Amino acid sequence: MDPTRVMPYGDMPNDGATQLSFTLPVPAGEEAKEAARQLVAKMGFAEPSVAHMQDMGESFSFFIVYGRCTATVDYAAVRVPRAEFPLLDAPRINAMIAKLLGRRLKVFGACIESDAHTVGIDAIMNMKGYDGDKGLESYKEIEALNLGAQVSCEDLVSKVVTEGVDALLISQVVTQRDVHVKNLTRLVDMLEAEGLRERIILIVGGPRISQELAKELGYDAGFGPGTHAGHVASYLVFRLQQHEDEAPGNPLPEGSFHGSHD
């Protein structure tokens, strides 16, 4: 297998075998089938073959098509942007926070705006955690507060101001019509308008969140499916460390990662 020219493999190496399915808004029939075939051919698949056409009523037709993918990927050259940081265990995380900050790290979590899916943020924040990995509440050097569902950006920003936090953990699960992008952008804009953005670590997570998207939207890091609290805590320490490295020997002044009341 040539790692610089990787392609799908169904029956034989490099046969490109790919399964597709989609619905066309045309009535089922020979013309519809041919349209499906042409469509897949236009997308560059060789030998497109309609395995199944189903009349779905109301002039909708469902298709299952097989074709040979003609593209290849240089697997050797694939680079995935990710937040690169060492994974630490809880005692080490606590020790590092104590050493670097000299006080507990204050972290707020919230599922913002219309989103009411708290299971993800609960998994990260709450004692119980996820998949056997305890949440941030279990870290003695972290003061974790989970604000729950449907927290408006206004409320959240005012909490950052009044209660002072080092890090905000935002969850977004509903993504239809890109509502998550709208919500996340709104929050960053408001934090920036208040001059708070640079003073906090801003993290977002959810099933459709990637590091890439997070960066694009102005967040420090993005965490997707399967994240554990340990990842997030390690990342937080990594960021504290980074700060320390940039200003070595210089203990973090109160308020540097901390919203103050001014």
Partner 1 sequence: MQLRLDRERIAAARELAAEIAADLDELITGSTTTSVERAYLRLLGLEGTDEHGVPLPNVVVKHIHDGDGLGRGVCYWVANAMYRHDLSLDEVAEGVETGALDLVSEKEEAPEKVMPVLDELAVLGLKKIDKQREKRERLQNELGVGKEPQLYIIVATGDVFIDASQARAGVLQGADIVAVIRHTAQSLLDFVPFSAVTGGVGGTYANGENFRIMRQAMDDAGREAGKYVMLTNYCSGLCMPEIAVLGAVERLDVMLNDSMYGIIFRDINMRRTLVDQYVSRMINGYAGVIINTGEDNYLTTADSFEAAHTVVASQFINERFALESGLKEEQIGLGHAFEIDPRKKNSLLYEMAQARLVRQLFPRSPVKYMPPTKYMTGNIFKGYAQNTLFNLASVLTGQSIHLLGMMTEALHTPHLQDRYLAIESARYVFDAADGLAKELSIKPGGRIERRAQKVLADAVKMLEEVASVGLMEAISRGMFADIARNPDGGKGQDGVVVKEPDYCSPFIDLLRDKEGSAHGSDASHAIR
Contact positions vs its own copies (CB under 8 A): 1, 3, 6-11, 13, 17-26, 30-35, 38-39, 42-45, 49, 60, 69-73, 75, 78-80, 82, 176, 208
DSSP state of 198: G
Which of 35, 39, 179, 181 is in the footprint of partner 1 by CB under 8 A?
179
Half-sphere exposure of 89 (CA within 13 A, CB side): 1
Catalytic residue among 128, 134, 140, 215: 128
Placement of tokens 């919230």 in the chain: 110
Which of 104, 117, 134, 197 is in the footprint of ligand B12 by CB under 6 A?
117
Which residues between 157 and 176 bind ligand B12 (CB under 6 A)?
169-171, 173-176
205 binds, among its own copies, partner 1, ligand B12, none (CB under 5 to 8 A by kind): ligand B12
Nearer to partner 1, 19 or 242 (CB): 19
DSSP state of 181: H
DSSP codes of every residue in 46-57? EEEEEEEEEE-S
d(CA 90, CA 72): 43
34 binds, among its own copies, ligand B12, partner 1, none (CB under 5 to 8 A by kind): its own copies
Query: Residue 13 interacts with partner 1 (CB under 8 A)?
Result: yes
Query: Residue 119 interacts with partner 1 (CB under 8 A)?
Result: yes
d(CA 179, CA 56): 30
Which residues between 128 and 157 bind ligand B12 (CB under 6 A)?
130
Query: Residue 137 interacts with partner 1 (CB under 8 A)?
Result: no
Part in contact with ligand B12 (CB under 6 A); list of ranges 31-39, 51-59, 114-122, 194-202: 114-122
Long-range contacts of 87-90 (CB under 8 A, 24+ apart): 87/230, 87/231, 87/234, 88/230, 88/233, 88/234, 88/237, 89/230, 90/134, 90/138, 90/139, 90/230, 90/233
Beta-strand pair 201-205/221-223: parallel
Nearer to ligand B12, 94 or 126 (CB): 126
42 is catalytic: no
Listed residue (163, 146, 208) closest to 181, CA to CA: 208
Nearest approach in angstroms of CB 139 to ligand B12 is: 14
CB 100 within 8 A of CB 201: no
Nearest approach in angstroms of CB 59 to partner 1 is: 9
Catalytic residue positions, numbered? 128
